[in-house]
Structure 1
Amino acid sequence: MSTRRLLALSPVNITFVYLGFGILWIATTDSAVVLFVADPDVAAFLQTIKGWVFVALSAGLIFGLTRVRERRLEQSEQRLRTATEQIQVLHRVLRHNIRNDVNVIHGYVDMVYDELDTSESKAKLDHALERSRRIATMSDKIRILGELDITDETYGTVDLVRVTERCLEEASFEDTPDITVTSTVPERAPVQATPAIRHGIEELLENAIEHADGADDAVRLTIEIRRTNGEIELVIADDGPGIPPHELAPLEAESESELRHMSGVGLWIAKWVCEVHDGTIDVETGNDGTSATLRFHAATEPVSVEAAIERARESLPDSAPVPA
C-alpha cells in the first residue's frame, strides 16, 4: 500500500492495518526461525534482531506518516492565511471603496430627484435609491468580518445575558410598532467567547424586525436563555411570516451557488460568529414563524468567598455548630 493511499485511510483503519502487519510479521518471522534454525542461541539472537527490525520499521512508518501529516497541516495553514488575507482585502474594498462610491451615487441621485417633475421618474429614482441603500448596508455588514479572528482560540468570559440585553436596547424596535418582545433570561449566563458574539445576535434581531415589517398582524418576538448539558442556548423566536426556504437552503448546505444563494449576508454572519466561537446555530422556519438557537460553551465563574461560606453552611447538618 502506498503512503498516499495509507494517509487516505481513517485513523481506525490505519490502526487495523498496522495491527495486521504486526501480527503477520511476528507469525511469519517466528515460524521461519523455528523452521530453519535449530540452535537455541542463534534462534534467540535472530529473535532479538527481528524485534529491533520491527521497531525500526515501526519508527520509520510513524515518522513518515507524521511528516506527511505535518506537511499537509502546513499547507492547510498557508491556505488559511491566504483566505484570511482575501477576507481582509474584501473587507477593505467593500468598507471603503464601494461605500464611498455608493455615497457619491446616492448624492447625485438625490440632486436629480429634486429636479424631476413626473411621479413615474421619481418612482424609478426611489428604486435606485433603495438599491444603493442596500449596497451600503451590506458593505457595513461585511466590516464585521474584520472583527472575527478565525485563528484566535483564546476566549474570555462573556455574559450572554448582558450582551443580549444590550442588543435589544440598540435594536430599532421603535420603527416597528407591531412587534412585541418578551424575554426569559437568568441573572447571568457566562459563556466562553469574545464580545464579537453580539454581531450574531444583532443580525438575528434585525432579521426578525425586517420580516415583521411584512407581516399582516402584530409579531411576537421571544428571547430565551437556558443552560443545557454544559452549553448555554440563546433562542430567538418570532411568529412572523417566516424566512423563505430558498434563503435558508445555502445555510443548510453550507455553500452558495448561482441557483442557490441568499439575498443578504446576515444569516451567514450569525453562522460564522457561532463557528468562530466553537458554537453552533440552528434555524427553523415555517408558516408559524422562525426560531434560531445559538449554542455556546458555558464558562466557569470563580466562586466568591461569601458564596463558598454560604454553601458550606448549607451543607452542614442542623446539629453541627456553625462558626461565627
Structure 2
Amino acid sequence: MSSPRRWLRDGRWLWAFGSGFFLWHFGHLFYHPSVLDTLPTAVFSVLGPISASATVLAVGIALGLQWGTASLRHVGRWVAIGAVTAALLGILTVIYFRLNGVVLPEQAHFVSNVTTGGTVAGSLVGVYDARAARVSRRLRHERRRVSLLNQRLHVLNRVLRHDLRNDVNVVHGYASLLVDSPDPVVSERGEIIREKSEELISLSERARNLQQLLEGEQIETETDLAAVVSRRLEAFKREYPAAKVNVDVPDRAPVGPVPLLGVVVELLAENAVIHNDRDEPLVSVRVQTDDDCVTLHVADDGPGIPEAERAVFESGTETPLRHSEGLGLWVVEWAVNEAGGDLDFRDRPVGTVVSITLPRVDSESDEPPTVRDAASFADQFDISLQSFRGGPE
C-alpha cells in the first residue's frame, strides 16, 4: 500500500480531493432531498457541484493514467490554488453578509460549493498549463537531441575529413606506384585501387563542403537563373566535349536565393550525360518563365532514371534495400527544398525530363538587378562540382 506521504508526493491526493467533494455533495443531497424541488436550487446547490467534483476526480484519474505523476502534481497544484482562492472568497462573502446583518442559510455548504467551483477552474487551468509544460519538456529534449546529433555529425565529419582522408592519401600514393609497375596485371589492379581511393578522397571533400554549406548564412538576394545556366553550361561543354548540349534560356529569369544553384544545374546536366550510353549524348536545357514561377527543364535521350532510384526521392527516405546510387540527386533535392521549389521527374518515349520549379522574384527597382550566381556562394566555401562526385551518380 502507498503511504500518505507518497500520495501527497505523487499528486494522487487530487483523486481524494475530487472524491471527497463528490461524497460531500452527494451526502447533502441524500440528507436534504428538498433541494430538488426547484430547478435553480437543484442545479446550483447540488447537481452542479456534484458534476464539478466528479469532473475533478475524472481529470485526476485520466492524468494519472495518461500523463503520469509529474502532470498529476502539476495540475494538483493548480487545483489547490483554485480551491484555496475560492474558499477564501466564499468565507469573505459569508463574513460580508453577516456584517451587514444577513445570515446565509447553510453557510458551510455555500463555502463548499464555491470551493468546488474553484477546484474545477484550477483543474482546467492546470490541464492547459500541464500540456504546455509537456510540450516545453519535449522541445527541450529535442533540442538536446539535436545538439547531440550535431556533435556526432561534427565528429563523423572530422573523421571523414582528416583521419580517413590522410589514410586514403597514403593508399592513393602506393596505388600510383603500382600503376607504374611493368607487370600489366599489377598495373591494372593499381589503377582500380587509385580510382577507388580518389572516390573516397572526394567523399571526404563532400563532407567538408556540406558542413560549410550548412553552417553558412544564405544571403537574401535575387538570382538570375538564365545567367547561371548559360555560364555553367559553357564550362560543362568544355568538360564533356562529346555531349551535344542545347540551351534555350530567356534574357532574364529572376528567382530567389537558391543554395548551390550553379552546382545543381551542372549535376542535372552531368547525370543526363553519364547515364547515357550513346556515343553523342544529347542534353536539352530550357528555362521557362511564368507569372509567379521559373522552371528549369533538363531533358536527355538516355535510358532514364531507374524506377528504384526515383522511388527514393519521391518518398524522401532511404532504406538498406532501397537507396540512391550517389549524392548528386540528393544535393538537387535539398537545394530545391531549401529554396521552396519543386522537383519533378517525367519520362519521355526516349529519355527523361527533370524539372525544377522555383518561385519567381521580380525586382521593384528600375535599375538592372545584381545577378548573384549561387556559384559565388559555393566559391566562398571552395565548393565545386567535382567535390560532389563520389563515383557514378
Q: When the two structures are superposed, what TM-score results if normalisation uses the length of structure 2?
A: 0.57
Residues 262-286 of structure 1 show CA distances to partners (whole Å, capped at 9, x for unaligned) of 2311111222222333433233456
Task: Note closer, same or farther for the CA distance 1:36–1:203 as it changes in structure 2 (3 Å cut).
Answer: closer
Task: Note closer, same or farther for the CA distance 1:90–1:238 as it changes in structure 2 (3 Å cut).
Answer: farther
Residues 17-52 of structure 1 show CA distances to partners (whole Å, capped at 9, x for unaligned) of xxxxxxxxxxxx997328769x9xx9xx99998877
Shift of 1:186: 4.8
1:61 and 1:221 map into 2 onto residues whose CA distance is 61
**1:265 maps to which residue?**
327
Count of aligned positions: 271
Residues 101-153 of structure 1 show CA distances to partners (whole Å, capped at 9, x for unaligned) of 333322221212222233x333333322222232233333333321333896x
**2:140 maps to which residue?**
74
Q: Which ranges of structure 1 fall in alignment gaps of 5 or more residues?
A: 1-28, 307-324
From 215, 231, 240, give the equivalent of 1:175.
240
Shift of 1:260: 1.9
**1:241 maps to which residue?**
303
Shift of 1:224: 1.9
**2:283 maps to which residue?**
220
**1:16 maps to which residue?**
none
Q: Which ranges of structure 2 fall in alignment gaps of 5 or more residues?
A: 1-39, 49-103, 369-393
**2:165 maps to which residue?**
99
| Greater percentage in strand | 1
**1:202 maps to which residue?**
266
Residues 128-207 of structure 1 aligned to structure 2 (within 5 Å) = 128-149=193-214, 156-161=220-225, 162-171=227-236, 173-191=238-256, 193=257, 195-207=259-271
2:238 and 2:288 map into 1 onto residues whose CA distance is 20
**1:274 maps to which residue?**
336
**1:302 maps to which residue?**
364
User: Which is worse superposed, 125-134 or 280-289?
Assistant: 280-289
Question: Which amino acid is the alignment partner of residue 32 of structure 1?
Answer: V
Larger Rg: 2
SS in 1 for 2:214: coil
Question: Which amino acid is the alignment partner of residue 63 of structure 1?
Answer: D
2:367 and 2:325 map into 1 onto residues whose CA distance is 52
Question: Which amino acid is the alignment partner of residue 78 of structure 1?
Answer: R
**Contact 2:224 2:252 (C-alpha < 8 Å) held by counterparts:** no
SS in 1 for 2:323: coil
**Contact 1:219 1:239 (C-alpha < 8 Å) held by counterparts:** yes
Q: Percent identity?
A: 26
SS in 2 for 1:293: strand
1:32 corresponds to 2:67 = no
SS in 2 for 1:275: helix
**Contact 1:106 1:132 (C-alpha < 8 Å) held by counterparts:** yes
**Contact 1:144 1:199 (C-alpha < 8 Å) held by counterparts:** no
**2:3 maps to which residue?**
none
Q: When the two structures are superposed, what TM-score results if normalisation uses the length of structure 1?
A: 0.67
SS in 1 for 2:269: helix
For the aligned residues, what is the CA RMSD?
A: 3.9
User: Which is worse superposed, 296-305 or 245-254?
Assistant: 296-305
Task: Note closer, same or farther for the CA distance 1:171–1:99 as it changes in structure 2 (3 Å cut).
Answer: farther
1:208 and 1:36 map into 2 onto residues whose CA distance is 76
**1:121 maps to which residue?**
186
Question: Which amino acid is the alignment partner of residue 305 of structure 2?
Answer: I
Task: Note closer, same or farther for the CA distance 1:112–1:93 as it changes in structure 2 (3 Å cut).
Answer: same
